[in-house]
Structures are given as C-alpha cells and as structure tokens.
Structure 1
Amino acid sequence: MTTIRIQVSARAVDFTAETNIPETLVTKSEDIRPGLIATANKVLRAYQLPEIDNTPPTETTPGTLALADVAAERTRQNEKWGEQNHPDGTGPREFPLAAMGGESVFDAQELAAQATRTTDHRAANRMLTWKDILLEEVFEALAESDPVSLRTELIQVAAVAAQWAEAIDRRNNQGDAA
C-alpha cells in the first residue's frame, strides 16, 4: 500500500491509494504516478479542489530536475532520521563559525553584512559566483532570530541552491550537445 499526501495551496487532502506494485519495485515516483494521480484527482474533485496536472514535467520547466532531486533527498532524510525538531540556533549575536570548532570573532549579523558586501562587490566587478550568492543567503538566515524572517531566508537558501543545481545541469546538458 502506498500513502501519499497532496497539498493544494493552504488546504491538504490525505488519502491512501493501494497499488499492486510491490514496494521493492517502486524506485521512482513515475512507476506509479499515473494511477496515484488518477486516484488523487478523484479525491480532489470530491473536495472541489483543483486537480493535479498530469502533464509530465519537461526539462525546460524551471527547477523540475533539481526540485525533484531535493524532494527525493528529503524523503531519504525522513526515512533515515524521521521527523526532526531541533532548536534554530540562529540570531544576530550567534557565532556560527565557532560551531565548526574554531574561535570566531564574527557574529552572524557581521557575517551576513560582510557576505552582502562581498556579493555586491563581486557582482559589480562581474566576478560573482554561485558560492557568493549562496553564502550571502546562508549568513542572512543565520542572522535571523524571528521565525517568520528565518523561514523566508531559508526558502531563499533553498531556491539559490536549487538554481545552482539547475545551472550545473544546464552546463552538463550543453556538454552533451557538443
């Protein structure tokens, strides 16, 4: 039996769909996707919610491959560790680099400000890298103590990381075309 959760906007519909495919054979969501999508759409119709688009994603859809890999990694993390609930450990007066075993004289707020200055400088001089952008977002997140602002920054971290992975995919695809 395969259980999936479908979230549509702020509403969620939970349901269970049975398949005759043994779990050991299901290695990708595509293996059972059509049957689950059909079942999900029946449930969504019953709740008068928008149905799932059954059009397979294409490589030209922004983020498709990278975000699918992120979702798969999250599934692996949940299977390995279960639900995790840790303190955030963030805030403007935290010392994130000290957590790596060294003594840090820079608090999170100072690191975020320096990362922003570095990113701005490197962008102005056409030397900007994905590393610069990601570190700026990470340090901005580490400097947040407000949960709403922290969440916003973490979404930005995830978006930059996904975009970086997409850029790597594009480079790899360009190499395949050559």
Structure 2
Amino acid sequence: MTLTFTLDPSFEGEHGRALRDGLLALWADVSNAGGAVGFVPPVTPEDIRPELVKHLAAMAEGRTRLLVGHDESGAVAAGAFLTANTHRLMRHWIWAYTVMVHPRHQGKGHGRALMAAAADAARGFDGIEAIRLTCRGGTGADRFYEACGYKEVGRVPGAIRVADGDDRDDVFMLLPLGAA
C-alpha cells in the first residue's frame, strides 16, 4: 500500500471538514501513541483543535503550507506543515513542523515517503535551499531523520519538558536541497 501526497489541499466544503477532522484524529492518534508532535498523552482531537486552527490561519496568510498523505481508503494517514522563515536573512530555508505518520501506517516506509515528498515540494518553492526541523531527543526521531538525509546541526540539552523530571533535548536537523 502506498500513500498519495497532496500539497496545499483544499479545505472547502465537506471535503475540507473531512480533512480537518482527519488531521485532528491523526494528530491525536500520533500523540497518544507517544509521537513527539507537540503534545503528551492523553489528548483528544478537541485538545489539539486550537493548535490546528493556528496552522490553518498561517496557511490562509500564506506563511504555512500543508503536505498531507491519504491511504488507499482516502483517510488522512500522514502530514507535515512547511513554514516559511520570515527573517530577511534566512528566507532561503523553510521549517518542517508537526511531521506525522499514523501509527497503523508506521514501519512501512511511509515516513520516508513523506519526507521525500516534503523535500520534493520544497524544491519547488522559490529560493528555498534547505529544510530545517527540530525533534525531541530520546525518541529515535533524530535517527529517522538522519536516515532521510538530514544532519544534526544543533542540540539544546533539556529544552523540552515532557513531565516533571523528564527533560529532553531539542535537536535541530537540516536537509540541504541539492538536485533531486
């Protein structure tokens, strides 16, 4: 089974409602499975809704783009937000945020496919030469991103407090976007 990726999907009409609900369910399921996407379990889609609204507002303003992956049944199975860097000296790279693959689709190569689709999308953006992202230390995400071609370029020890007594490193990763 493969995923079908769409950059900048429409949020209009019934399709848009299904997409929003699918993203909320994906984000909650990934979080509740221990994924490092800005929340700690337990969370519900309603807990996540305010954060999705912020992303949707940034999309409406043209600051953020969404790459979404659907499975064969049409369900939202993966996603990543690509956000412009607005600092005038750093406009040559973008951020990848909230990179997610549904737990039932993990271990099948869909994460690598998502990251490859994100790199392909970014290569199509004017003047973009690299993708940066951060990940939570202690999850193995840094090894995954390294396998996708990213390099660790910085680390802030203990910057992420998951719970009292459970501080994790904030790991900065970079993917230069040379020719495909």
With normalisation by structure 1, the TM-score equals: 0.21
Higher strand share: 2
If asked which structure has higher relative contact order (CA below 8 Å, sep 6+), I would say 2
Higher helix share: 1
